[in-house]
A = this chain, B = another copy of it.
Amino acid sequence: MSRAAKSTEHRSASAPRDIIGRGPSLADTLALRLKEEIVSGRLQPGEKLPTEQQISETYGVSRPTVREAIGRLKHDGLVVTRQGAGAFVADPSAVAVFRLEVTDFSNKEEIRNIIELLMAVEATATEHAATRRSEEDLKSIQAQLDAMEAAVERGEPGVEEDLAFHRSIVEATGNPFFRDLSDFLDRRVRNFIRTARANTARLGGMTQAVQAEHQAIFNAILRKDAPTARAAAETHLRNAAARLALYLEP
C-alpha cells in the first residue's frame, strides 16, 4: 500500500484503529486500555509491557500515540520505563502518585462518598487549626467571616466568601495536603450543587443559619479549643450535607 493511499484512509471506518473506538482522543483511550490491563492484574508488577511497536500494531495506532499513552501511565506512576530496556509495570507499593477523579455528577453515590470524605478531612483540619493557628491566621479567618457577614447583609448568597472562610481555616493547619485536598473536594461539591440547582427550583439562602455556624467555629478557633472546634465543624458540615441532600434524593 502506498503512503498516500494509507494517508487518505486515515479515519476510514474499516481501519484497524476502530479497536479502541472513538472518544476523547486515541491516546486517552489507549491509556485507559493499558491501565485496565495493569489494575486488573493481567499485567503483573515488574512485568514488561509489549514494545511500543507491538502495542502500536495491536491497537492500530501510531507509535507517537502509544508513547503519549505510556507517558500518561508513567506520569501516574503505574509504569516505569528504561531506555533501551522497555516499559515495566511499577511495584504498586512504590507508586508515589495518588489520583482522584470526580467527573460524574449524575452519580449520586459518588457525590455522597465525596461529601463524606470532605467531612472527615475538614473536621480534622478545623481541629488542627484551633490548636495551631497563628495570630495572622486568626486575623485572616476573621476577615473572611466579616466578609461573609457583609455579603449576608447585602442579601447575597456569598458563596465566594463562604469558600474563602473555609479556605482560611484549612490554611491555618499548616498542612498543605489538608489544604489542597479540602479545597478540591469543596470546589467539587459546590460545583455539583451549582449544576444541580440549575435543574431544580431554587431554594432560599439559609445564609443566616450558616453564618451562625461559622461564628461558632470561629469562636472555638479563637479560644484554641480543639474539641469544640471539631464539634462545631461537624455540626456545620452535617447541616450542609442535610441541605444538600435535597439534591441527592429527588
Residues in A lying within 8 Å of B, measured CB to CB: 27-28, 31, 64, 67-68, 71-72, 75, 92-103, 113-114, 116-117, 119-121, 123-125, 128, 175-178, 180-181, 184-185, 187-188, 190-191
Bound-complex Cα distance A113 to B177 (A):
7
Copies in the complex: 2
What B residues does A27 contact at CB under 8 A? 71
Which of B71, B94, B97, B123 has a CB less than 8 Å from the CB of A99? B97
What B residues does A187 contact at CB under 8 A? 92-93, 95
How distant is A197 from chain B, measured CB to nearest CB, in Å? 15
Chain A contact surface mostly: helix
Bound-complex Cα distance A175 to B112 (A):
9
What B residues does A102 contact at CB under 8 A? 96, 98
Are A96 and B64 in touch, CB under 8 angstroms? no
Which of B93, B176, B184 has a CB less than 8 Å from the CB of A98? B184
What B residues does A191 contact at CB under 8 A? 93-94
Known: A68-B71, A191-B93. A117 touches B180 (CB 8 A): no
Are A117 and B178 in touch, CB under 8 angstroms? yes
Are B100 and A97 in touch, CB under 8 angstroms? yes
Are B114 and A177 in touch, CB under 8 angstroms? yes
What B residues does A28 contact at CB under 8 A? 75
What B residues does A94 contact at CB under 8 A? 191
Bound-complex Cα distance A68 to B25 (A):
13
What B residues does A117 contact at CB under 8 A? 121, 175, 177-178, 181
Q: Closest residue of chain B to A69, judged by CB?
A: B71
Interface centre among A103, A184, A190 (most CB of B within 10 A): A184
